[in-house]
A and B are shown apart, each in its own frame.
Chain A
């Protein structure tokens, strides 16, 4: 029974991977290029800010530390916050999830497979990015004691990101334009996660509040793990991750149960 289930997952992941790689230009322009441009701009902006003020440190960060922070921020972005649930929203709006109500494979499992296939590509992209950055001297070779915890934590948080995306996608039962929720969440996630400005530069009161939100888990914490400069206790970080995963899982279950009651299979 378990092997039968495993075969379904493996086949779905393989087919998702093949589908994602069919439109390589779209895949690159929509999911890879934005992260590269975002971090390249951030890297350039910070380098310019430091250079134009004579390399004086900012909020305890030297120029080298800040630039390495931005490089690892790209790796964290690849591994954690690249996945999107566009297909889910469209499938609900167009009435295409009807098939999943009949298949012996749940909708959430299908999207989890899509996510895992996507993560496989993103791990390769992250590996290429790390090797490139080491080769051209943007970052030093990280010790395994930093790299392994950083990778492990990033991949764990990516599951939380998937849950957020999945929950936003399910809102399509009520809203036509679910991109709005995703877009707003992304805007705040980029700012408050420390992907561009390290959280250490935020006002103290805001830093204290952010400890209990999922945002630092999305960029600041994994980047500091990669850099070997993490000061947040890991048990606390994993506890926060587990709490937010539980919240988002619950939200997805409730949204699904209520939404499916409204589902009219439009377009079928």
Chain B
């Protein structure tokens, strides 16, 4: 616990700094909210237009599918505000050599690199996403157990998405295409917008095992809809442990390869 304390204190200060920053640049906050609202609106409208013409998409009816959509939106909302800016910053720091300063700090470098920048303005739209997630959860008639486990499963989804993206971004150490890698990482988010069953068998198998981006959202949602699907949650837990280990390994290997350009 004592080992964790400095991390909690640093994180607390970083959150305070980011709040102070958004208080100083209010127009940027407004623009960030517009971005989030636009993302929310276009996703909602796309689903709505499709459901104007169909009753089901695969095994899921409209409320079940919309619950999936807002599960994804909730996870991505937190991701955008807390995690995403750090991926872009990481690419810049590796390219310019300014990663050195983080490596010198008396704190776990990996923690510092991926928590340094936050954009809390995006979180302002979280209540809208969570509200609609709860609304469609009520329509689906989730069980008490599902409601109790829902926050934990959301955290699991977010954790797996983060770890997979982090392991992808480690390749920045070996390539000069930092921004390109970030675009590649974002393509994974495009794939996650839809549940795994819409993909052909081979692609689904690959993206559920080797690079399990499809399971991060689909499996927890499937479990809250039908608790007999608990194996999926176990699979997500295994994936979290595996990618946690892999990120640590890749980070060490990456640092050996890091040339500290221009420093």
Q: Can you show 18 pairs from A to B with CB atoms below 8 A apart?
A: A23-B177, A25-B177, A26-B177, A30-B179, A30-B183, A33-B183, A41-B190, A48-B57, A48-B58, A53-B56, A180-B32, A183-B35, A188-B38, A188-B42, A191-B46, A196-B46, A201-B52, A203-B52
**Interface residue total, chain A, C-beta cutoff 8 A:** 35
B14-22, B141-149, B193-201: which lies at the interface? B193-201
Tell whether A28 is near chain B: CB-to-CB under 8 Å. Answer: yes
> Which of A34, A48, A187 touches B187 (beta carbons < 8 Å)?
A34
Considering the chains assembled together, what is the distance between the CA atoms of A190 and B176 in angstroms?
Answer: 30
Nearest chain-B residue to A38 (Cβ)? Answer: B190
Tell whether A124 is near chain B: CB-to-CB under 8 Å. Answer: no
User: For residues 179 through 195 of chain B, which have their beta carbon under 8 Å from a beta carbon of chain A?
Assistant: 179-181, 183-184, 186-187, 190-191, 193-194
Considering the chains assembled together, what is the distance between the CA atoms of A176 and B24 in angstroms?
Answer: 14
Q: Which residues of B contact A202 (CB under 8 A)?
A: 49
Residues of B in contact with A (beta carbons under 8 Å apart): 27-28, 31-32, 34-35, 38-39, 42, 45-46, 49-50, 52-54, 56-59, 175-177, 179-181, 183-184, 186-187, 190-191, 193-194, 197-200, 203
> Which of A25, A176, A187, A190 touches B180 (beta carbons < 8 Å)?
A25
Number of A-B contacts (CB under 8 A): 96
CB–CB B179/A26 < 8 A:
yes
Q: Which residues of B contact A41 (CB under 8 A)?
A: 190-191, 193-194
CB–CB A25/B46 < 8 A:
no
- Evaluate whether A44 and B45 lie within 8 angstroms (CB atoms) in the complex, with A26-B177, A37-B191, A176-B28 already known: no
CB–CB B31/A26 < 8 A:
no
Residues of A in contact with B (beta carbons under 8 Å apart): 23, 25-30, 33-34, 37-38, 41, 44-45, 48-49, 52-53, 58-59, 175-177, 180, 183-184, 187-188, 190-191, 196-197, 201-203
Considering the chains assembled together, what is the distance between the CA atoms of A23 and B181 in angstroms?
Answer: 13
- Evaluate whether A187 and B194 lie within 8 angstroms (CB atoms) in the complex, with A25-B175, A29-B183, A33-B187 already known: no
Q: Which residues of B contact A188 (CB under 8 A)?
A: 38, 42
Nearest chain-B residue to A56 (Cβ)? Answer: B54
